[in-house]
Amino acid sequence: MDENKKERLEAKGWKVGGVEEFLSLTPEENALIEIKLALSRNLKL
């Protein structure tokens, strides 16, 4: 997301963040999800 859009959303009261923050993931949980995504992308090829 570009910085301008982020600033406009925050000015209107929206909270902008990442998936880790939204789901309260630990670094280990986030790494596991990234590994699963990478594997699934490679299996589709």
Q: Tell me: the pLDDT tens digits for 1-45?
A: 789 999 999 999 999 988 888 999 999 999 999 999 999 999 876
Global pTM reads: 0.58
Q: How far apart are CA 36 and CA 42, in angstroms?
A: 10
**For residues 26 and 34, is the Cβ–Cβ distance under 8 A?**
no
CA–CA distances in Å: residue 19 to residues 4, 9, 38, 45: 20, 17, 16, 26
